[in-house]
Amino acid sequence: MLLFLSSVALAGKWDGAETDISAERVIPAAPEAVFSHLLDLDHLRALFPTDCVGLWEPGGRTYGEGANAVVRYDMGAMHRKLAMTLVRAEAPRLIDLDHLGSRGFVTRWSLSEEAGGTKVRLLTPLNAPPAPFRGYFQNVVRPEWVECYERTLTNLAGVFPS
């Protein structure tokens, strides 16, 4: 599934409009502290707003590479329940979560040192869905998903008060 991330990262447009889901924020903490926090799927579950991720069932392992869960994303009328595995962790700069299945995707947490803390980018590269869902995706699903990522990063910032 990691190849999907590479190939889609180049294709994240539809009729000139962005299709990727992305948000970023500076978190007032060192990259190592943020990275360690994000490796714990129990911590991730607490970061995502419940109206965006309506279900989060922990798997047999909840920390580090190989950690897994079943999650259901709720954006507009889109409800997608997927098995998710933390497949890649490169301290302290990136974490990849692979959402498995034919309608799966990869979500990447990228961290870089920044004055005042760590710049965290949350990215899910996506191709536009097939017709007739493209307009609904662009006008409803994508804006809600981006807003959920922004609130998730706000929640992460709250874990590390300045």
- What CATH number is associated with residue 46? 3.30.530.20
Query: Which pLDDT band, with edges at 50, 70 and 90, does 40 fall under?
Result: very high
Taking alpha carbons only, the member of 109, 138, 139, 111 closest to residue 124 is 109
Domains contained in the chain, number:
1
pLDDT at 16: 55
* Ranges 4-13, 51-60, 78-87, 119-128: which has the least confidence: 4-13
Q: What is the pLDDT of residue 1?
A: 35
Q: What is the pTM of this model?
A: 0.88
**Radius of gyration, alpha carbons of the chain:** 15
Instruction: Give the DSSP per-residue string, 70-107.
Output: EEEEEETTEEEEEEEEEEEEETTTEEEEEE-STT-EEE
Containing domain of residue 15, as a range?
2-159
The proportion of the chain whose per-residue pLDDT surpasses 90, expressed as a percent, equals 77
Range 108-133 average pLDDT? 93
